[in-house]
Amino acid sequence: MNITVQEFKHCDMIKVDGRVDSATAPQLAEALESANDGGKYKIVVNMSDLEYMSSAGFRALLAAQRNCKRYNRGEVVLASVPERIREALELAGFTELFKTFDDPLQAVGHF
């Protein structure tokens, strides 16, 4: 798994590549928390090069969404979610908790 953070004027984009499982999810959680610690609550998670995500990754996203949405200060949105991962998110009932965008820049434009 590899994470890159790009700052935009109105949001941060966290691009997570590779595979997120119980071994690597803590790094994703850390990236999301560190954005929040820096006062950033509007976050695009770019999944265009994500190959795999288990429920450990879903939990990191859920925790971040809770923290970001508190006091209406922002939200986490998902961009370019690969089909297999979208199906698993749907099965877990997570698609209702996150806005999703086909294109990362479209997601950035949302903020």
Partner 1 sequence: MKTVQFAARFEYLDEIREFVGKIARSGGFSDKDVYNIQLATDEAASNIIEHAYENIADGVLELSCGMNGDVITIKLIDYGASFDPSEVPLPDLKADLSNRKIGGLGIFLMRKLMDEVHYEPKPDKSNILTMTKRKR
Interaction between residue 3 and partner 1 (CB under 8 A): no
Which amino acid type is present at position 36? N
> Cα dihedral sign for 14, 16, 21, 26?
negative
Of the candidate residues 16, 45, 47, 88, the single one contacting partner 1 (CB under 8 A): 88
Interaction between residue 17 and partner 1 (CB under 8 A): no
Stretch in the footprint of partner 1 (CB under 8 A) among 4-12, 37-45, 51-59, 99-107: 51-59
What is the nearest approach in angstroms of partner 1 to the Cβ of residue 25?
A: 9
> What distances in angstroms separate CA 86 from CA 30, 40, 41, 101, one per listed residue?
22, 25, 23, 12
CB-wise, 23 or 105, nearer to partner 1? 23
What is the nearest approach in angstroms of partner 1 to the Cβ of residue 23?
A: 4
Q: What would the DSSP string read from start to end of 31-96?
A: HHHHHHHTT--EEEEE-TTEEEE-HHHHHHHHHHHHHHHGGG--EEEEES--HHHHHHHHHTT-TT
Give contact residues for partner 1 (rule: CB under 8 A): 19, 21-23, 52, 54-56, 58-59, 62-63, 65-66, 69, 84, 87-88, 91-93, 97
